[in-house]
């Protein structure tokens, strides 16, 4: 009741149109800010979410870029390795050990004869993207497990088999075929059975277990000195980190360019987020300013009414409370508009990206909601301070 | 609640007061709860100034005003709001009404500060007695000064109080209406066991005064 009478006395000073314009301005600012937060959290979700674990993106095989100057000395120095390990983007680092002996594989079956010289590599198990119980070797083992790059099989199935008039092979068939592996070096040779146990997307070499590599290198290598590795594998949270890209470039290292393609996306995302965020913050500041001018104007234009209200026994606190009730609820409404807009946008974005094989949560992130609450608190504090300040100021200048 | 005025000297009347002759300015005066006080104040002696000091509209004075244990000059804004809601009521000479609100709304905005004290029906009853029922829903700015004066009196009687301050409250009323208003005010004060301070230019017999002072 009393509020209704107060409402009659204390009118909007600047008119409805300007008020609506200010509301639109503040809503736009809010949508920009919340979108920026949402985009950023979407990006982090893509990087860290379980649904999008892009095995290619998170493991990078790195080697020196080979030029005329460094041919023959492509190994990475100890200093380079420790430096690489120190970088913030590096989670862990594994060296690829190459075989220092001659090796060949040969078919056991007359039906399907083949023979080829090959070379092996090995890498710590944690860096391998094939999960199999058969990845195990010791001197009593019946066969040597080998992991083959997926590209090899593709190359065979879609090019080689046609040209040689050979049958195509599924991964299952290849895994069943046992073949003879021959190792030569130091004037000795050694035969054992080998079998493909998996296909890797991550590392483009023929992989054998690390302990086999150690044993064989020790036994069959002509040089006893350990060589510095020339290729390492890096585990990183974000292969798209521009910092990583820049570091590799500066150190003269290269990796599969495709794997750092996120770097470009990331720069675009950062750019969009920054522009949207900065514009949003600027607009927000101005909108807040306009709103406090509104409050100021209203109080100034109702100076006499407020004075008389206090004279007949209202406390300034009560009038402040009334003004707060008057000016704050539109802000809650604005925040809701902002949150709903971003929610709808997120829903459509998630739906659209599903068709592009990118899985994104269709709901807005917790951070976006927190940002909205934070903005609401800022507005509330700002309104409160303005109201108190101008009520007092007016009484003093009475 | 005892009202004490202790050596009051408003800055604006400093020179005049030096000459003495006032029962109030620069004196120690106290009034007991329930006293009816008439203050006779010829023009220029500071009648309205005293009203404003008693209601803390102005603070440009030396001396001290005390209601019971409350020193008026030391009241903060909440304390002052409490004093004005429950202990001290007033009829200003210049009325101080909201011109854009109706007569009823002007009374309501006061009544709703202490709604448990006076009912909505009381407004109609008092309006009936002061013969202003027909203008209750008129906008204040279209009412005559006499009507406005009676609305202001009703507004002042909506709240509990220990003291009622009246600054020439009947200046625009005919004798018949003065009688009605004085009776109403008298009843209200007796009901609350409240005191009354009325300022006027001349002597009068509106109430049975306990004391009559000259400003």
Instruction: Tell me the average confidence (pLDDT) per consecutive run of 10 residues in chain B, 215 residues long.
Output: 92 86 90 94 88 93 92 90 94 93 95 93 95 95 95 96 95 94 96 94 91 91
CATH number of the domain that B132 lies in?
A: 3.40.50.300
Confidence (pLDDT) at A53: 46
Chain A hits for B80, CB-CB cut-off 8 Å, are 315
Nearest by CB to B98, from A9, A310, A314: name it: A9
Confidence (pLDDT) at A398: 46
Closest alpha carbon to B129 in B89, B195, B85, B188: B188
Q: Do A313 and B105 touch (CB under 8 A)?
A: no
Q: Do A1 and B159 touch (CB under 8 A)?
A: no
Q: Do A312 and B57 touch (CB under 8 A)?
A: no
Cβ atoms of residues B213 and B40 within 8 Å: yes
Interatomic CA distance for residues A137 and B185, integer angstroms: 110
Q: Decide if the complex's ipTM is over 0.95.
A: no
Q: Other C-beta atoms within 10 Å of A326: how many?
A: 18
Q: Do B105 and A5 touch (CB under 8 A)?
A: yes
Confidence (pLDDT) at A262: 62
Confidence (pLDDT) at A50: 54
Confidence (pLDDT) at A224: 60
Scanning B87-137, the segments in alpha helix (DSSP H) are: 103-111, 120-129
Residue B17 belongs to domain spanning: 3-214
Residue B160, token pair as written in the block: 């509990």
Confidence (pLDDT) at A283: 86
Q: Which residues pair with A181 in a beta bridge?
A: A105, A192
Q: From the CA of B98, how many Å to the nearest CA of chain A?
A: 7
Closest alpha carbon to B1 in B185, B208, B210, B193: B193
Residue B154, token pair as written in the block: 């009703």
Q: A12-25 b/e with 16+ CB inside 10 Å = b?
A: ebeeeeebeebbeb
The segments of chain A whose pLDDT lies below 70 read 12-14, 47-57, 224-226, 256-264, 357, 394-398
Chain B hits for A307, CB-CB cut-off 8 Å, are none
Closest residue, chain B, to A8 (C-alpha): B101
pTM: 0.67
Cα angle for residues B111, B116, B117 (degrees, 5° grid): 65
Counting beta carbons within 10 angstroms of the beta carbon of residue A150, is it exposed (0 to 12), middle (13 to 18) or buried (19 or more)?
A: middle
Chain A hits for B78, CB-CB cut-off 8 Å, are 315, 317
- Tally of domains within chain B: 1
Q: Do B96 and A316 touch (CB under 8 A)?
A: no
Task: For residue B63, give the DSSP letter.
Answer: E
Confidence (pLDDT) at A257: 58
Chain B hits for A306, CB-CB cut-off 8 Å, are none
Q: How long is chain A?
A: 398
Nearest by CB to A305, from B82, B98, B108: name it: B98
């Amino acid at each position: 009741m009393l509020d209704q009478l107060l409402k009659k006395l204390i009118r909007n000073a600047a008119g409805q149109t300007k008020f609506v314009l200010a509301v639109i301005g503040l809503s736009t600012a809010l949508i920009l800010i919340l979108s920026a937060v949402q985009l950023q959290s979407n990006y982090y979700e893509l990087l860290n979410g379980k649904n999008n674990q892009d095995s290619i993106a998170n493991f990078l095989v790195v080697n020196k870029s080979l030029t005329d100057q460094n041919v023959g000395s492509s190994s990475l120095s100890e200093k380079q390795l420790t430096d690489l390990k120190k970088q913030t983007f590096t989670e862990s680092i594994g060296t690829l050990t190459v075989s220092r002996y001659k090796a060949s594989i040969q078919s056991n079956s007359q039906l399907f004869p083949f023979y080829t010289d090959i070379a092996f590599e090995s890498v710590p198990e944690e860096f391998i993207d094939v999960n199999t119980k058969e990845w195990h070797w010791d001197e009593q083992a019946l066969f040597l497990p080998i992991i083959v790059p997926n590209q090899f099989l593709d190359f065979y199935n879609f090019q080689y088999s046609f040209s040689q008039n050979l049958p195509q092979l599924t991964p299952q068939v290849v895994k069943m075929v046992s073949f003879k592996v021959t190792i030569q070096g130091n004037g000795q040779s050694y035969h054992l059975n080998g079998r493909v146990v998996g296909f890797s997307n991550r590392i483009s070499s023929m992989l054998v277990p690390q302990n086999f590599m150690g044993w064989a290198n020790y036994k069959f290598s002509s040089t006893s000195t350990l060589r510095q590795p020339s290729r390492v594998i890096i585990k990183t949270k974000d292969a798209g980190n521009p910092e990583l890209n820049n570091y590799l470039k500066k150190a003269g290292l290269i990796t599969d360019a495709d794997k750092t393609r996120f770097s470009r996306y990331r720069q675009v995302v950062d750019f969009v987020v920054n522009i949207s965020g900065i514009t949003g913050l600027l607009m927000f500041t101005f909108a807040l300013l306009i709103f406090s001018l509104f409050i100021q104007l209203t109080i100034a234009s109702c100076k006499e009414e407020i004075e008389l209200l206090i004279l007949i026994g209202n406390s300034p606190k009560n009038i402040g409370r009334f003004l707060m009730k008057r000016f704050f609820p539109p802000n809650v409404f604005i925040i809701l508009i902002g949150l709903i807009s971003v929610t709808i946008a997120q829903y459509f974005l998630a739906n659209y990206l599903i068709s592009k094989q990118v899985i994104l949560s269709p709901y807005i992130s917790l951070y976006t909601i927190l940002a909205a609450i934070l903005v609401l608190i800022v507005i509330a504090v700002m309104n409160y301070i303005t109201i108190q300040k101008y009520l007092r100021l007016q009484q003093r200048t009475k | 609640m005892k009202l004490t005025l202790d050596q009051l000297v408003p800055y604006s009347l400093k020179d005049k007061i030096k000459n003495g002759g006032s029962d109030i300015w620069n004196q120690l005066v106290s009034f007991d709860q329930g006293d009816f006080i008439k203050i006779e104040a010829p023009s220029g002696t500071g009648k309205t100034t005293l009203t404003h000091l008693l209601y803390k509209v102005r603070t440009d004075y030396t001396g001290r005003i005390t209601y019971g244990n409350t020193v008026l000059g030391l009241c903060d804004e909440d304390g002052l709001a409490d004093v004005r809601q429950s202990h001290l009521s007033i009829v200003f000479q210049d009325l101080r009404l909201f011109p854009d609100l109706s007569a009823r709304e002007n009374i309501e905005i006061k009544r709703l500060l202490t709604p448990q004290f006076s009912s909505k029906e009381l407004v109609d009853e008092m309006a009936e007695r002061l013969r202003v029922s027909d203008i209750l829903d008129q906008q204040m700015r279209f009412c005559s000064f006499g009507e406005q004066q009676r609305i202001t009196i009703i507004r002042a009687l909506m709240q509990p109080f220990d003291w009622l301050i009246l600054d020439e409250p009947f200046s625009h009323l005919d004798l018949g209406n003065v009688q009605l208003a004085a009776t109403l005010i008298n009843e209200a004060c007796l009901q609350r066991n409240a005191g009354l301070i009325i300022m006027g230019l001349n002597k009068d017999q509106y109430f049975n005064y306990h004391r009559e002072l000259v400003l």
